[in-house]
Amino acid sequence: MNQAEQRIAARMRSKAEEPGVEVLEYAYDAQARSASAVTAVKLATLVAERRRELGPTCSAADARKRICEADANLRDFAVNFPQVFSMALDYEQAPRHLAMLQQQARLRQEVERGTMTEAEANVHATRIILEKTARAPTQEEAGRIAPAPPDAGSK
C-alpha cells in the first residue's frame, strides 16, 4: 500500500469511528481495475500501436474486436478501462489522447509519492483536459457571446 492509500485508509478508519457515520469500501472483481497509471499508459500505447498496424480503413469496432481477440491482457484492459481503450483506438487522435494520458499519469505518480495532494492533481488534470480539448469559438459562436459587463468596482 502506497502513502496515499495509507493516508486514505487512516482517514476512513477515523471517519468510521464517528457516531452516525458509515464508511463503505469498494471492492472490484477484477484486480486489473486498480492498475497503476503507468500500466494504463503502457497498455493504451500498445492498443494504439496495434490499431495503427490495422490501418485507417479498419473500423474502430473491427479493430477493437481484432485487438481483443489477439491479446487477453488488452481484452481485460478494454473491459476494465473502456474509455481509455476507446481513446487509444481513435486512429487520428490517439497520439493526442496518449500525450494527455501520460501527463495525467505523472500527476497520479506525484499523488502516490505524496508530493502533491489529490486536490492539486485534480486541478492540474482539469487544466490538462481543457488545454487538450478546448477550441476557440467559431465566428458564429463569437458573435453570440455577449460582452462582459463593466466591472462594478472600476469607475
Residue 111 within a domain: yes
Tens digits of per-residue pLDDT, 87-142? 999 999 899 889 988 988 888 888 888 999 989 988 988 888 888 777 777 888 87
In the chain, % of residues over pLDDT 90: 37
Distance CA 27, CA 13 (A): 16
Distance CA 64, CA 23 (A): 38
Q: Tell me the three state secondary structure of residue 152.
A: coil
Residue 27 within a domain: no
> How many Cα atoms sit within 13 Å of 39 on the Cβ side?
12
Residue 22 within a domain: no
Residue 143 within a domain: no
pTM for this model (two decimals): 0.61
Whole-number pLDDT of residue 30: 46
Q: Domain range holding 113? A: 36-131
Query: What separation in angstroms does the CA of 41 have from each of 7, 28, 103, 115, 138?
Result: 25, 20, 10, 21, 33
User: How many domains is the chain partitioned into structurally?
Assistant: 1
Residue 120 within a domain: yes
In the chain, % of residues over pLDDT 70: 88
Contact in structure between 3 and 112 (CB atoms under 8 Å): yes
Tens digits of per-residue pLDDT, 111-122? 888 999 989 988
